[in-house]
Structure 1
Amino acid sequence: MITEAIDTNAADVPRLRLLHGHSIPRLGLGTWPMLEDECEAAVRFAVQSGYRLVDTAFQYRNEEAVGRGIRTAGIPRSELFISSKFNKEAHSIDGVQRAYDESLRKLGLDYLDMFMCHWPVPALGKYVDAWKGLVKLLEEGRVKAIGVSNFKHSHLKEIIGATGVAPDVNQIQLSPDLARTGPRAVHGLLGTVTEAWSPIGRSSGLRSDPTIIEIARRLNKSPAQILLRWHVQQKIVPIPQASDPLWIKQNLSVFDFSLSADAMAKIRQLDKGEGAARDSDMPENGH
């Protein structure tokens, strides 16, 4: 069961309790594909505007910029939830330790709130060892939460079977037109929080959908706010990417209204099914 946790330092962004005791803000800032000054400025503005979750990865090539934005935002580190992800080259127990140290160095931080395996890359056959490396980091107290990204049920079953430890989070491609009901059901049984990348869609098509526009007009909200509210209302953690200050602020303003059962039912009809999502078993999908 995923439950809310109260964070008195950032009361406007409620949190969800994670399996291993930490808690994650219910909405965060995604940073791909932002780089250098744009990324630094966006992170700094987001944190100063109330964001407490910032997501990055080795593959994004922006950990240094994310770190600068965090350090210059003027918000205590203890109030923030910072996560990063490692690539397939680090898929070994020792490789994960080295990747963690490298991410800390680039970010200029003493610890991460969550470290994640970016893709399972099953053709490599080493994601179980990668997970064992993350479990070791957790057991040593070096990181507060551990997660995976783009893992299917079969991948989750294997890593849990090998270690007895389930992920705090699985970050997957998810939006109203890719509702991922099957994976979300699996996560719910495990107690794993579902985090959504590309939560407002991979293009502007979802934001211009007549259903979304009609609901947005009725509630006097932006289409993106409707899409993000759909996530948080179902205890999914979206991490929308934005660099425009207006969008950054709008994306966070989704906790002061609710979608009706009728609106949720209409949005449910947009789902294209599991086959429309990127397949993490395919060799071309994985870092």
Structure 2
Amino acid sequence: MNKLEGKTAVVTGAASGMGLAMARRFAVGGMNVVLADINESKLSDVVDEIRTTGGQAQGIVTDVSLEADNIKLLDFAVDAYGTADLVCLNAGVQGSIGRSWALSKDDYSWTLGILLDGVIHGVRTFVPEMVERDEGHVVLTASIAGHISSPFGAPYNVAKHGVATLAETLFHELKVEGSNVGVTCLCPGFVNTNIVNDTASRPAGSVGSAIDDRGDQMLELTQRVLSAGLDPEVVGQQVFDAVVNKQFWLFTDDNWDAPIMARANEVVTRGLPRFRGEGQGDQHI
């Protein structure tokens, strides 16, 4: 997809953060944009913003953890603009944080439902039509957490590892099929978003992100590093370029190259896992 103008992009988690940045960049590039988010108020505001600046945009409230909502999203895009040429499966939450054995089944289910099931539903919903047309592109938002596992974030880590391997699997399958459909696996590092403030999308009765003292410590660390992170608008441009260039791996910075290589070395040498921060050696909380 080296020419995006006039085509249609669908972005989940589009009312804030990286999703909003992607939607803005696609609109500036002349694409029709379908924004999906669970937050109806914010969604309405950003649709109005894009239209006010001359972009073509439609919004639909979507719970990506529900297969039916993904099907409705595709139908909505087709009704509005005729097709979905590009889909960014980006909706995300921080999820529950704490000792892996102390997290409840519901903690795991809710986080995995959005971060992993939501992407699986998106692939199953949008890719068949792209394959049939032999045209399109899918962006799956994984994370550095899909390559390096930090402590006290098991649901998030599990989900993001799952998204990364789903993206690779999808890439291989499309190549075997001889398809022109492209795939990008987005692996953000620290980006200045409000992902940790996911209370609005939590199920009723949830106690919040941190379920114990370790969760509190990890939440504080996460908030601190994200606040000093990359501007989401930079990521929006990176995604735009990756789609045009059919780039598979998209890391938002190169600060994690050394930790990823070190982790790979631990695997092949059968070494013990070590938690590394942003290229700064071992980290402890």
TM class by shorter-chain length? Answer: 0.3 to 0.5
Report the structure, 1 or 2, having the larger helix content. 2
The TM-score, its normalising length taken from structure 2, stands at: 0.36
The TM-score, its normalising length taken from structure 1, stands at: 0.36
